[in-house]
Structure 1
Amino acid sequence: MSTTTRTTTPKRPYLLRAFYDWIVDNGMTPHIVVDATLADVEVPRRYVRDGRIVLNIHPGAVGDFVMDNSAVSFTARFSGVAHYLYCPMPAVIAIYARETPNEMVSFPETEYDGTGEAPEDAGGSRRPGLSAVDSPDQDAALSPEPLVDEPEADGQGSDSRDDDDLGEDNPPPRSRPSLRVVK
């Protein structure tokens, strides 16, 4: 029996793509949880909570989407402002469908050793690193910030018209036009 150590590529990018495809193919909305404290992570820091950020990566919510073996990158709007996001694979903690957040798939932190490569397996027998997370406390802590533009809650917009100028049949002015995907 040979004692040669074989280095394999990390499973995370492959599993992430598989779960992403499954979620989208089933008409659900994929979200990823990203550790924003790791190096090279580019996300809007304003939306980071407890060192993590939840990102909607549905094809209708992002642009220029690329998911390869090293990172997930795309553009998305936060409060109407377009941002470029870059999440190296070691920073992607979990993926789940917004419609079924209790079916979150998390990835082991030990898969990457800080160099972007999988650590060598000393014993040769590792158990799969996926685990289901269904803790309601964790779901509350990871609740996603909406990535779509929503009207301001305080009712103050950039429009300078008074409320008296609006007729009863006229809807209130919107701050900017928006599109909705209809299938």
Structure 2
Amino acid sequence: MSEQELNVTPSRPYLVRAIYEWICDNNLTPYLLVDATKPYTDVPTQFVNDGQIVLNIVPHAVHMLNIHNDAVTFSARFGGVSRDIYVPMNAILGIYPKENGQGLFFDPDEYANVKVDEDALKSNTSDETETTPETSKKKPSLRILE
């Protein structure tokens, strides 16, 4: 029986979490390689090169990092400007430490036969915040109080 017939969830989110923890436990700098051309990917486009971007997700450089089964979300500063980042799991091409590059790189076709819940992805990238907190996976936001 194939994995599709068994309805097995992709292993990518579990492996991303594990490798991230391993990198941080070894006091290395975790880099996330992202295919910025995938739908619903929200990254700073000015830093995209050949359709890809490398994101530094070291704990002291990001705020509210969440590695969910459907996406990686966090906020960080790019060029001095705070940005909310949303990376669907199918857009993650690899996670590795800056110092030695010995991480894990994924098959770009792994999600080719996986049914992605586009409604969930759309709600995460929408500017509307009318959903209830228990069903919302709203990206974090930052505002200045005077």
Q: Work out whether the TM-score is over 0.5.
A: yes
SS of structure 1 residue aligned to 2:6: coil
Following superposition, the deviation at residue 69 of structure 1 comes to: 0.3
Q: Which residue of 1 aligns with 2:111?
A: 112
Following superposition, the deviation at residue 115 of structure 1 comes to: 3.2
Q: Distance in 1 between matches of 2:80 and 2:47?
A: 14
Q: Which residue of 2 aligns with 1:47?
A: 47
SS of structure 1 residue aligned to 2:61: coil
| TM-superposition CA deviations, 1:107-136 (whole Å, max 9, x none) | 11221026328xxxxxxxxxxxxxxxxxxx
Q: Distance in 1 between matches of 2:57 and 2:8?
A: 27
Name the aligned partner's letter for residue 41 of structure 1.
T
- The equivalences for 1:101-140 within 5 A come to 101=101, 103-113=102-112, 115-116=115-116
| TM-superposition CA deviations, 1:60-111 (whole Å, max 9, x none) | 000011111000000010111000100000000001101112x131111221
Q: Distance in 1 between matches of 2:90 and 2:42?
A: 13
Q: Distance in 1 between matches of 2:50 and 2:104?
A: 19
- The equivalences for 1:1-183 within 5 A come to 5-101=5-101, 103-113=102-112, 115-116=115-116
Dislocated runs of 4+, deviation >3 Å:
none
Q: Is the 8 A contact 2:19 2:103 kept in 1?
A: no
Name the aligned partner's letter for residue 109 of structure 2.
T
Aligned residue pairs: how many?
Answer: 115
Identity %: 44
Structure with bigger helix share is: 2
SS of structure 2 residue aligned to 1:16: helix
Following superposition, the deviation at residue 26 of structure 1 comes to: 0.6
SS of structure 1 residue aligned to 2:90: helix
Q: Distance in 2 between matches of 1:47 and 1:109?
A: 21
Q: Which residue of 2 aligns with 1:151?
A: none
Gaps of 5+ in 1: 118-183
Question: What is the RMSD of the two structures over their aligned residues, measured on CA atoms?
Answer: 1.9
